Structure 1
Amino acid sequence: MLYLVVGLMAFLGVRSVLFPPDTAAPPAPADPQAQARADDVPEAAAQQVAARFARNYLTWSKDNPTAREKELAADLPKDADATAGWDGNGAQLVAQTIPGQVTHTGPHQARVVVDVRVSTTTGQGKKARSVSSWRGLEVPVAETGGRVLVTGQPALIGAQQPVPWTAPEVPDEDTDLSRSTRSGIESFFTAWVAGTAEQAAAPGAKISPLGEGIALRSVEAWRVEAGSGARRTGVATVRWSVAGAELQQPYRVTIAQVSASGASRWQVWQVSAQ
């Protein structure tokens, strides 16, 4: 009997080495960032809803108080108070809303900053005048039931303030190329404002027309940056006539060297803001 037990134990030991028992694979480590992203409110939808709500929230008229409530109710939870803190007095109109930063505050919750251009009327009779200004509004939103809703009272916040910025150093100028290409640049801007830019631009360039109501006063300056190659970059300072005023603007212009029939010339390839 003793030999039988010893033999069985020996057999089981060998078997465990040759055929180890199956072990379940360890679970994959959770990715907390992936889970957080899955819980985020969709930013495009959040901005759209917040911008619409901001327009309706800051638009009111004591002569038609229910109009505001009806508009706000579309983006509020069911049976929420659609007066949204307004006492029913005064009049204000929103001309524009620009949604901005979305801050995620919890699973399926966020706050959206909206810049709002409001217009009010001050004074009465002949002294009445319209005054417009920008307001900052932060709107709380949440994703629920397959859509984004405004979940609480928005709050007016401070507007963005100017901050310092140091412009990069201006590159050296290629004076010879600036001088030899200036007439071509003037011809391009003349053609551009006339709607015939394709006649003055390099072959293959895609430059959309400026549209009507703009006239060219002058190309005040043209400066090609030092460099080499068949494409170069410069800055043109242009003065336009628009709506009874003159407007000076700088343009970053890329010019390309075009060869044909043994001759070459520089033509405009791209135009953008500086």
Structure 2
Amino acid sequence: MAQPSATPAPTPAPAGLQQWTDAAARLQSQSPGPTRTEPAAPGSAPRTAPGSQVPWKIEDEKSGSKFAVKVGRGVLWGVVALAAITGIRSWFWTPAPPKPAPTKVDSGPQYPVQEAQAIAARFARSYLTWDEDDPQTRAAALARDMPRGTDTTTGWNSKGHQQVLVVLPSTVSVLGDKRARVRVDLLVSGPAPADSAPADKDKADKDKADKDKGDKKDDAKKDDAKKDAKPASATRWMGLEVPVVEASGRVVVTGQPGIVGVPNNGPSVPVPSAKSNDMEFGDKTRGVVEEFFSKYATGEPGSVAAPGASIPALPSGMTLGSIRNWAVDEGGGTDRVGTAVVSWNVGGAEIEQTYRVKLTRVSSAQAERWQVAEVHGGFTP
């Protein structure tokens, strides 16, 4: 009896694919539907029915694909990190550029205006002061403020007499290259101009009468007296523009100055707007203001001023004429301000002055009153 031929054993799967084959078998056994399994021969491995196949195809992954996946993942995580650091908003909205810091311009040291005024004022006094009997004094005074070696005797014919009484340095016009022009106003005293001497009509009439009488015996004596008599003096304002330069750390006069005119009047100014006045309060406090000004000139303003007020007394020789006007500005509170027009008797004349007066309310347990806290000369609207 012939032996049945043995079924050849299935070729075992590669070791790397065995795990995938086992997983497919388990998945097939869990799926619904009948599964036909042939009986296995003794000692043989079980075989899967023809109808059950592995549901996917297993292929080896190429090395190029693995590299591309890794690169993609790296790029993705890089983008996420960049967004976290810079913020997504900065990708779409560009911030405004910062404003540049202001540029500081070094204009260099400022011109020494005060020194220029002082030098020009001293030079102007020396320049407009002369005495024909002592010319060297003027030359020595001018040498203090002019460059070394300058001939300080030129520009004056060494005649006449003139004296400077007041010196007022004014504007400094900077011309560049350390040079400037300084304006100085001076009050000088000297011989009166011939055309401005007043005619003495009485003296002329008397001289005519003497001539008519034929009395000429004193003519020679009168002529000698006229020769010895000094000419009449007069004061007048003069302007002087002095050129100066800064050299070697100080200011000096560079050359001869020029005499210029002094304005006879000032320019026009805007008319101040009228202020509303508190008539009732002005009438109520007029006596307070009159009492204060009467004590102001006598040296006792503190006796009627508000506590803590410091108001110096006026010079001696002044007495109160009258309070011409007293008006208080509209307002309220414990401090009020008004304008007082006051006439004073001083030097044999009566002059009118304007003051701004501050009143403050002083209270005590028994009474309440207004007193002067401040007083300032002049009215500034």
TM-score (norm 1): 0.83
Work out the CA distance in 2 between the residues paired with 1:244 and 1:188.
23
Work out the CA distance in 2 between the residues paired with 1:145 and 1:213.
51
Work out the CA distance in 2 between the residues paired with 1:137 and 1:242.
34
Q: Give every structure 1 segment of 4 or more consecutive aligned residues whose post-TM-superposition deviation is greater than 4 Å.
A: 123-127
Q: Which residue of 1 aligns with 2:248?
A: 145
Structure 1 position 188 matched with structure 2 position 292: yes
The equivalences for 1:65-80 within 5 A come to 65-80=135-150
Q: Which residue of 2 aligns with 1:154?
A: 257
Q: Which residue of 2 aligns with 1:266?
A: 370
Q: Which residue of 1 aligns with 2:182?
A: 112
Identical counterparts, % of pairs: 41
Deviation per CA, 1:13-71: give whole Å up to 9, x if none: xxxxxxxxxxxxxxx96725x22xx1x43111111111111111011111211111111
Work out the CA distance in 2 between the residues paired with 1:62 and 1:266.
64
Structure 1 position 226 matched with structure 2 position 330: yes
Instruction: Name the larger-Rg structure.
Output: 2
Work out the CA distance in 2 between the residues paired with 1:41 and 1:86.
31
Shift of 1:162: 2.2
Aligned length: 243
Structure 1 position 45 matched with structure 2 position 89: no
Deviation per CA, 1:158-178: give whole Å up to 9, x if none: 223421112312211111111
Q: Which residue of 2 aligns with 1:92?
A: 162
Deviation per CA, 1:115-148: give whole Å up to 9, x if none: 1111112376778422111111111111222221
Shift of 1:228: 1.7
Work out the CA distance in 2 between the residues paired with 1:165 and 1:84.
44
Structure 1 position 257 matched with structure 2 position 327: no
Amino acid paired to 2:237? W
Work out the CA distance in 1 between the residues paired with 2:232 and 2:361.
55
Partner secondary structure for residue 297 of structure 2: helix
Gaps of 5+ in 2: 1-101, 195-225
CA spacing shift, 1:41–1:152, aligned 2, 3 Å: farther
Amino acid paired to 1:207? I
CA spacing shift, 1:96–1:246, aligned 2, 3 Å: same
Deviation per CA, 1:237-265: give whole Å up to 9, x if none: 11111111111111111111111125321
Q: Which residue of 2 aligns with 1:121?
A: 191
Work out the CA distance in 2 between the residues paired with 1:222 and 1:30.
53
Partner secondary structure for residue 194 of structure 1: coil
Instruction: Judge conservation of contact 1:239–1:249 (CA < 8 Å) in 2.
Output: yes
RCO higher in structure (CA 8 A, sep ≥6): 1
CA spacing shift, 1:51–1:127, aligned 2, 3 Å: closer
Deviation per CA, 1:165-221: give whole Å up to 9, x if none: 123122111111110101110110111111111111111112111121211122222
CA spacing shift, 1:29–1:163, aligned 2, 3 Å: closer
Deviation per CA, 1:97-129: give whole Å up to 9, x if none: 100101111132211100111111237677842
The one of 342, 346, 365 equivalent to 1:238 is: 342
The one of 98, 105, 111 equivalent to 1:31 is: 105
Instruction: Judge conservation of contact 1:195–1:209 (CA < 8 Å) in 2.
Output: yes
Decide which structure has greater strand share: 1
Deviation larger for 117-126 or 83-92: 117-126
Gaps of 5+ in 1: 1-27
Structure 1 position 207 matched with structure 2 position 311: yes
Work out the CA distance in 1 between the residues paired with 2:148 and 2:282.
66
Amino acid paired to 1:177? F
Amino acid paired to 1:170? A
Work out the CA distance in 2 between the residues paired with 1:227 and 1:127.
63
Instruction: Judge conservation of contact 1:114–1:136 (CA < 8 Å) in 2.
Output: yes
Indicate the RMSD between aligned Cα atoms, in angstroms: 1.9
Instruction: Judge conservation of contact 1:57–1:84 (CA < 8 Å) in 2.
Output: no
